[in-house]
Amino acid sequence: MRRTLVLLGRPGCHLCEEALERLEPICRSAGFGLRAADVDASDIWRERHGLRIPVLLDGETELGAWPFDWNALATRLVGR
């Protein structure tokens, strides 16, 4: 079963929508699933990330936040 990364954001956040759109093909080509989640759905997420969204998580590990370095992130995911 492939691992699924989580993109934390908020409904209506245009940066979150853009990040999801750009991350989907990167994750797919690297063999990861990707799901969007509302940062406010968890007290821990909201406390850790607050307004600093979107942020990409692999479990509890932060892989990046806006503004993403798309090339570095793609290289990191493919190399995992």
Full residue range of the structural domain in which residue 47 is found = 4-78
Q: Are strands 4-9 and 55-58 parallel, antiparallel or unpaired?
A: antiparallel
pLDDT at residue 79, as a whole number: 82
Rg of the chain taking only CA atoms, in angstroms: 12
Tens digit of each residue's pLDDT (9 = 90 or more) over 49-80: 999 999 999 999 999 999 999 999 999 998 86
* Angle 3-79-21 from CA coordinates, rounded to 5°: 60
- Give the other-Cβ count within 10 Å of 8's Cβ: 25
- How many structural domains comprise the chain? 1
pLDDT at residue 47, as a whole number: 96
Which residues 6+ apart lie within 8 Å of 80 measured at CB? 30
pLDDT at residue 19, as a whole number: 98
CATH number of the domain where residue 35 is located: 3.40.30.10
Tens digit of each residue's pLDDT (9 = 90 or more) over 1-42: 689 999 999 999 999 999 999 999 999 999 999 999 999 999
Residue 2: phi and psi, rounded to 5, are -80, 150
